[in-house]
Structure formats: C-alpha cells, structure tokens
Chain A
Amino acid sequence: MNVALPPPEVIVRIRGLAKAYRRGGQSVPVLEALDLDIRAGDFLALMGPSGSGKSTLLNLVAGIDKPDRGTIEVEGVDITRLPEADLARWRASHVGFIFQFYNLLPVLTALENVELPLVLTGLSRRERRERAELALSMVGLEDRMDHNPSELSGGQQQRVAIARAIITDPTLLVADEPTGDLDRVSAGEILDLMDRLNAELGKTIIMVTHDQRAAERAHSTVHLEKGALVKA
C-alpha cells in the first residue's frame, strides 16, 4: 500500500518583497512585490540575466541586506524586523555562505578558516578544532588542513568554504555562483558535494547561478527577470 508523504514544510516564506537601489539620485527598482516559498530540504536554483535581482534576493534571504518592503520569514522568524546585532547572531547560527570567490581569509589556514565561525560560539578551542577537522574531512580535505588558501586550488578553496558554511549546522546554505570561478571538473565536484549535503544532511540550499548545468543539479529552478518571478 502506498502512503503519500506530506509535503515538506515551508522553511522560507517571502511576501511582497521589494528592494530598490539609488543610482545617480534616482531610485532603480531591483525586486518588486515578490512572493516565494522555499520548502525544507529543497535545492533551489535562482536564475536570470544580470541585473534581474537574483543576487539581491539571495542577500535578502541570507540577512545581509534589508528590503524596502515585504517580509522574509525563516522558520517563522521575520528576519526583516531583526535589529542589526540580532540579525548578525541569526546569520551566525542559521546561514552558511558559499561565495563565487570563496572569500577565505588569506592569513588563516584551511582549518582556521573553517573554525572561524565557531569563534562566535561558546565552544572550547579543542571542540572547535575537532569540529573543523570533521567538516574538512567531509569535503575531502583532511590532508590540506594546515595549508593557506594561496596553496590550494580554486576547487579546494571552494571546498574549504563549503566546510566553513556547514560548520555551524545552519538551516540554510546560500551559494552565490559557487562554480562561477571554477573549471568544469572542479565545478562538477563542488556540485556533487552540494548534492550530498542536500541529500545526506538535508540542507536547504539556495543557489544563484548563470550556469545551466549547475541549475540542472538543483531540484527546482526559479527564474527572475526585472525583479519579478517568471514561470520556468
């Protein structure tokens, strides 16, 4: 007998989201009255031409930018209403970031880069180190822990960044063009890794990409054009 499973709960609920930037004294709208639901465990690709507002949307969901109007509820918390300090604490525990250019601190080793977000927790130095080692072994870099970013390839640096993103066991993983600076092989490895994080750890991933091949690895794709959602 087949029993239909209930659909996963909505983890991100966006309503009436609007954002405009001021350029040369003029207001340029980037997002307009956008509604979007993202379910827990989803692997969502945000696509669209340059200037369509996909990175802005990602920044708003990740809590690193503030909208002009609208609400963004993540697990029932409207993050648009959080003061700066609370929003920073929320990001530290709920969001893992994967950037196009990795954004590792060049003076820290791979292990220290992964450990960095844990400095904000109450964990001891030993616990932090153990967790960082575990995260690096999950991305297959246990033999590169003491290397500085400049001693790693682009793909390896992105894997360090992914280890850093998952170290705090966040609710959301946000990735802005995670394969944009990588060759095809490395890009494939990164997408495999993200697949695994989604499938095995159940991480909800929101990924901005221009790359059709990357988007095909996502479970669902949302297209943006001129700040509004377009049916795929």
Chain B
Amino acid sequence: MFLRLMFRNALRHKLRTALTVLGLVVAILAFGLLATVVDAWYAGAEGASSSRLITRNAVSLVFPLPTTYREKLRGVEGVTDVTTSNWFGGVYISERNFFPQFAVDGETYFRLYPEYVIADNEYKAFMRNRKGAIVGRKLATTYGWKVGDVVPLRGTIYAGNWAFEVEAIYDGRDAKTDTSQFFFHWDYLNETVKRQMPRRADSVGVYIVNIADPGRAAELSLRIDEQFRNSLAETLTETEKAFQLGFVSMTEAIVVAIRVVSYLVIFIIMAVMANTMAMSSRERLSEYATMKALGFLPGRIGLLVLGESLLIAAIGGGLGVLFTFPVAARFGAAMGSLFPVFNVSPQTVLLQAACAAAVGVVAAAVPAVKASRVRIAEGLRAVA
C-alpha cells in the first residue's frame, strides 16, 4: 500500500513528472557521455602495459634517436626485447581524416604488442610486402578498407606521396585496445628517407623496451638513461603509461573543464528536481497532515517523499544509462580516430547510477523534512 501510494504520487502530475524524468535522462546521458570522453582521453594510458618502457630523445619527442642504440638497449640487464616506432604524420586525402600512422619494425613490434591480434596468414603477407600495412579494425571500417586495398598518404614530416597496401587488419584483444592505428615497415620509410634526405636516415622516433620485471621499471629507466648520458642524443626513459599520460597532461585543462561541466549538469538537474519535489510536497501538506492524524509517524511521511523522489530518479537515471550506450556508440563512430577507444565503462555506469541516486536523495531532503514536520492542525487547514 505504501509503495503503491509512493508510485501513484510520483505519477500524479504526469506532465511534470515526464518533464523531470526527461531532464534527468538528458543529464545522466550527458554525464555518461562526458565521463566516457574523459575515459577516452586516458584510454592510451589505461591500455598501456606495465612491462613496456618508452625511450625517447631527452630534448624532445621531435628529435629522433639513432638506430645504433638498439643493441645497447638490448644489452641492459633486465631488458627482454626492444622494438622501434616512428611517427609518420601523413594525410589521407584531406587533413580531416586524421589517424595515427607508425613506421615500425614489423618483426619485433607485434611481439611486444600482443594486444594487437593479427591473423597468421595476414601477418606473413605483411612481412613479405615491403609496402605492406597493418590497419586496425576500427580504422578499416571507418574508411571501408579491406585487405588488398592501396592507401595513399601525403607525407608532411616525410615529404612526398606514399602508397601502402593493406595486408592485414588487426583486432583488439579487449575493448580497451586501440584499433584505429596504421602500421607499416620502418625499412620502407628508411630506404626512401635515405634517398631523399640522407641526414635523417637510420633514426627512429622512440624505442619500446620490454622488461622482465615491471617492479624494476624505475631502476631500469635510470640505467638506460645513464648509459646514454653525454652522448649525442641523451635519452629519457619512462613507463609506457607515464609516456601516454605526458600527452594527456598537455590537454589537462580540457579534461578538467569536461569533468566540471559533467558535474555541473548533475548539479543543475538536482536543483530542478528539488524544485519539483518542493512543489509536490507543498501541494500535499494537507494529505501528509491527514496521514499524521491517522497515526503515521513523521519518519514514514519523510520516507514517502524520499521514495517518490528516488523512484523518479531511478526511472530517469535508468533511462539515461540505457540511452548512453547507443548515443556513445554513435558519438564514438562520429569522432572516428580522434577517440580510438570510446566505450562506456562499468565505472561510468556506476557513477551515473550514483549521481541519479544522489539527485533523488538531495532533491527530496528538504521537502521530506518539511513534510514530516508538518503540524497536523495547520496542515489540515492547508488548501491543496
């Protein structure tokens, strides 16, 4: 009976309740979407392996490192494998079609990145083809590429028109894996650079160093950098996560702004719903007084208001969470490779649920207290 009363009270003013629920849906959806954008920002760092270190030029990432460092790195005790990666920065048709392209050592690179799942025959085909490329599933889907297609890229860092043949499409081992990247052979890049810009040849962007014990990451980083101290190109070594977070920190202000806006949205809907609950509660003072006269204790009257508020919050919050998934999927697709990993995480859903519950509780707090404290004789005189 009590629950029935709560439910019917919630649906008493259908338009008012519908508008409040709509507001909640939009707020919870917006919150979820913004939280997913923040997650996407950190996706690179989240997907990083704790056993991989990145060694780059200490001056700046813009400056390369000589290929001769490779053997020295391999010789460091605790290092199990080394590979290289080189940012290419080409343009596919127009600047709008941004996606990351890396020239890599195909033989070692994919050994260090087991999260990129490649069919054996496709990988072999890639290794056989000097101009071959491996592209992520999301990227291939975005541009409609398939194995055998030729992808033309206009070089910006490495001038000229380049053409690559898609030999493999990799999938992610899990939802956190970025499948919007484009890999091709560093050898192909280096041969071309040797011909066109000999001074820039035989260098790589970064070394990726695999270590046996992630617990020794700090110590090994220091040892690696020590080894190249006072050399032509001093190095800076850090964990892959720290390396990725370095990029995020450049845009920290944007992330903070997004977070602030997401909580601001919740705060606004909290105020809107508090107003709705206050109006409803004020209109029903005589009913609460009647119930108190009949013997209902103040606590139960307060619970009635709180329950009604929580019910509206649960409906709005539930729908908001449900709508987040399709909207996020479309948003992620529209963003393309800008947000390579754009998934609504369980933590985001939990946060959405917690926010909806908080809205329900906070909005009901003052009206519930007022309703429970209504003086019977005065409340009975109140005109609804």
Chain A residues within 8 Å of B, Cβ to Cβ: 56, 59, 62, 64-65, 84-85, 88-89, 91-93, 97, 99, 103, 105-108, 112, 115-117, 119-120, 125, 128, 164
Contact = CB atoms under 8 A, between A and B. Distances in A.
B69 to A, nearest CB: 77
Interface string B265-301: 0000000000000000000001100111111111000
Q: Give chain B's interface secondary structure class.
A: helix
Contacts of A125: 1
B5 interface: yes
Contacts of A128: 1
B294 A116 contact: yes
Interface in B335-384: 375-377, 380
A107 B9 contact: yes
A103 B286 contact: yes
A62 B373 CA distance: 18
B379 to A, nearest CB: 9
Contact of A103 (B5, B297, B377, B380): B380
A106 B12 CA distance: 9
B14 interface: no
The 5 closest A-B pairs by CB, nearest first: A92-B295, A107-B8, A64-B376, A103-B290, A65-B377
Contacts of A99: 290, 380
B2 interface: yes
Contacts of B291: 105, 116
B380 A116 contact: no
A121 to B, nearest CB: 10
Contact of A117 (B9, B295, B377): B295
B295 A107 contact: no
Contacts of A97: 290, 293-294
A91 B293 contact: yes
Given A64-B377, A103-B380, A91 B1 contact: no
Contacts of B199: none
A29 to B, nearest CB: 16
A105 B290 contact: yes
A190 to B, nearest CB: 18
Q: Which of B9, B296, B375 has the most CB of A within 10 A?
A: B296
B96 interface: no
B4 interface: yes
B12 A107 contact: yes
Contacts of B1: 112, 115-116, 119, 125, 128
Contacts of B292: 64, 88
A91 B294 CA distance: 7
Given A59-B376, A85-B297, A103-B287, 12 more contacts: A64-B292, A64-B293, A64-B377, A65-B375, A89-B295, A91-B294, A97-B294, A105-B290, A107-B5, A108-B5, A112-B4, A115-B1
A172 B12 CA distance: 33
A108 B8 contact: yes
Contacts of B9: 107
Contacts of B293: 62, 64, 91, 97
A125 B1 CA distance: 9
Contacts of A59: 376-377
Contacts of B296: 88, 120
A116 B292 CA distance: 12
Contacts of B295: 88-89, 91-93, 117, 120
Contact of A119 (B2, B8, B380): B2
Contacts of A85: 297
Nearest to A62: B293
Contact of B287 (A88, A105, A117): A105
B380 to A, nearest CB: 7
A92 B287 contact: no
A56 B375 CA distance: 13
A56 B376 CA distance: 12
Contacts of B294: 91-92, 97, 116-117, 120, 164
Contacts of A103: 286-287, 290, 380
Contacts of B8: 107-108
Contact of B376 (A65, A106, A164): A65
A97 B291 CA distance: 11
A106 B287 CA distance: 9
Contacts of A89: 295
A155 B231 CA distance: 101
Contacts of B4: 108, 112
A85 B292 CA distance: 10
A91 B290 CA distance: 12
Nearest to A56: B377
Contacts of B2: 119
A193 to B, nearest CB: 20
10 contacts: A56-B377, A64-B292, A93-B295, A103-B286, A105-B5, A105-B290, A106-B12, A112-B1, A115-B1, A125-B1
